[in-house]
Structure 1
Amino acid sequence: MADDSSRPGVAVVTGAASGLGAAVAGALTAAGWRVAGIDLRPSAATALGVEVDVTDAAAVEAAVDRVERELGPVGALVTAAGVYEMLPVEEIDDLRWHRMMAVNLSGTANACAAVVPRMVSRGEGGVVTVSSDLGVGGSQGDVHYAASKGAIVGFTRALAAEVGGTGVAVNTVAPGAADTPMLEDTSPWRSADFLATLPVQRLIRPDEIAAAALFLLEAGTALSGQVLSPNAGATI
């Protein structure tokens, strides 16, 4: 949003039906935003839920059209839709690779392509994409996930440069392992050995990541092209 405006308006959150997306939608709602959720499943705790596959660019564009008709101009976008799995590189077939890229990377790009030009035309707006610590530092067993999330960092920084000076800010949060349903109970990221390496001795919570996203949106154009990593102290 523009630096001189502190009035919340309409926000779009992809992946708003559960996990991090639901936490972001809740935080934005509490801050006064009218939130529209874009997800394959119903986004119950939002002003408007649109059931759309984020990998379908035309459907995402149509969803944003509906949001603006029913709620008003979109002033904030958070791209929280994503998938995750751990596999050694030799087990990543074409289907798994392309699904990871389609949801995580193309889903982010599709939402931005639908929303950002509208923001630019109005001269204000804030975008927060969701990357991952693994997209910055990598980890064994996470090749396709890390590749998709690392690409989001590059995408975000390039988009921030592209819209610089227009009143639109574009940043990313790159969380560490988070306590969401996406992380299975048997995940090594939930193991006592891993948790013991974290200064706070626990996984980052979705509400803490949501607070980081809200911080970036409230910063306006003072921050753009930045990577903020809420990660329970995993990277200092």
Structure 2
Amino acid sequence: MSEQPVALVTGGASGIGAAVVEALTARGYTVGCLDLNPGAAENAVATDVSDAGAVTRAVGQLRERLGPVSAVVTSAGYYEMAPVSEISVDAWRRMLRVHLGGLVNVARATLPDLRAARGSLVAVASELAVGGGDEDAHYAAAKGAILGLVRSLAAEVADTGVRINAVAPGPTDTPLLAADSPWRAPEYLQTLPLRRLTTPAEVARCVEYLVCEATFSTGDVVNVNSGAVI
């Protein structure tokens, strides 16, 4: 087992999750990952976060290998656009299972460790959870539900010393945004006060701050979105 503090990051093999792994590793954490496609990520277990049993088993494996966790970041997810009239029932359910269900499953599996460590959980939501978006109804709804859960869970566990917060990135320069995504279009970028996409490293720095330094903060949402929501 690691003698360093242990963090768990879902979706840690790419994008924002990979940047969070790098940031927390630099802060002295040993980081374990749950990812549907872990690739070459270190200390990773291939896991579908929407499967509660699989999450429980994977967290148990990492606990045996690394030790109990004191920080958790839920970054696993996916993005797709569609008019609300074209979103199937299965698509609604999958979006909610992965984003909201993934957070619930990971929180339930790790809260005993977090309580013992008076640790921290940070959920990755989205700017669309705050402001909504054209043809983003199911994604925005799932991410908005994350914000409600974060605030409620923060209140529920506050007396244990566990802190629950969220970051809400705007469009971020990751593989989730296709080259022809409207979020990459110069016309859209010109509507942002900073005129550019957010980077994964910038989101990771905010996560790192909430995990490592913001001991006064719980139930909060940090908007990391180049000024899209002010």
Same fold (TM over 0.5): yes
CA distance in 2, matches of 1:23, 1:221: 22
- Is the Cα contact below 8 Å between 1:128 and 1:173 reproduced in 2? yes
Corresponding position: 1:110 with 2:118: no
Corresponding position: 1:162 with 2:152: no
Amino acid at match of 1:114: A
CA distance in 1, matches of 2:118, 2:22: 23
**Corresponding residue pairs, total:** 228
CA distance in 1, matches of 2:40, 2:212: 25
Amino acid at match of 1:96: A
- Is the Cα contact below 8 Å between 2:189 and 2:197 reproduced in 1? yes
Q: Which residue of 2 aligns with 1:4?
A: none
> Where has structure 1 moved over 6 Å in runs of 4 or more?
none
- Is the Cα contact below 8 Å between 1:28 and 1:214 reproduced in 2? yes
Amino acid at match of 2:7: A
- Is the Cα contact below 8 Å between 1:212 and 1:228 reproduced in 2? yes
Is the deviation greater in 211-220 or in 126-135?
211-220
Q: Which residue of 2 aligns with 1:151?
A: 145
- Is the Cα contact below 8 Å between 1:25 and 1:45 reproduced in 2? no
Q: Which residue of 2 aligns with 1:49?
A: 44
Q: Which residue of 1 aligns with 2:22?
A: 26
- Is the Cα contact below 8 Å between 2:127 and 2:169 reproduced in 1? yes
Q: Which residue of 1 aligns with 2:81?
A: 86
Q: Which residue of 1 aligns with 2:9?
A: 13
Deviation at 1:232, TM superposition (A): 1.1
TM-score normalised by structure 2 residue count: 0.95
Q: Which residue of 1 aligns with 2:200?
A: 206
CA distance in 2, matches of 1:134, 1:200: 17
Q: 1:32 and 1:45, CA in 2 relative to 1: closer, same or farther beyond 3 A?
A: farther
Q: Which residue of 1 aligns with 2:54?
A: 59
Gaps of 5+ in 1: 1-6
CA RMSD, 1 decimal: 1.3
User: Which of 90, 95, 101 in structure 2 is aligned with 1:100?
Assistant: 95
Is the deviation greater in 19-28 or in 144-153?
19-28
For the residue of structure 1 that corresponds to 2:142, the secondary structure is helix
CA distance in 2, matches of 1:148, 1:31: 31
Percent identical pairs in the alignment equals: 50
Residue deviations 1:132-176, cap 9 Å, x none?
Answer: 010111011000000000000000000000001211100000111
Gaps of 5+ in 2: none
- Is the Cα contact below 8 Å between 2:70 and 2:117 reproduced in 1? no
Residue deviations 1:73-92, cap 9 Å, x none?
Answer: 10000000001101000000
Corresponding position: 1:36 with 2:32: yes
Residue deviations 1:171-198, cap 9 Å, x none?
Answer: 0001111111001111111110111112
CA distance in 1, matches of 2:55, 2:96: 17
For the residue of structure 1 that corresponds to 2:8, the secondary structure is strand
Q: Which residue of 2 aligns with 1:3?
A: none
Amino acid at match of 2:11: G
Q: 1:152 and 1:8, CA in 2 relative to 1: closer, same or farther beyond 3 A?
A: farther
Deviation at 1:221, TM superposition (A): 3.6
Residue deviations 1:21-50, cap 9 Å, x none?
Answer: 11111111111110001011125343x111
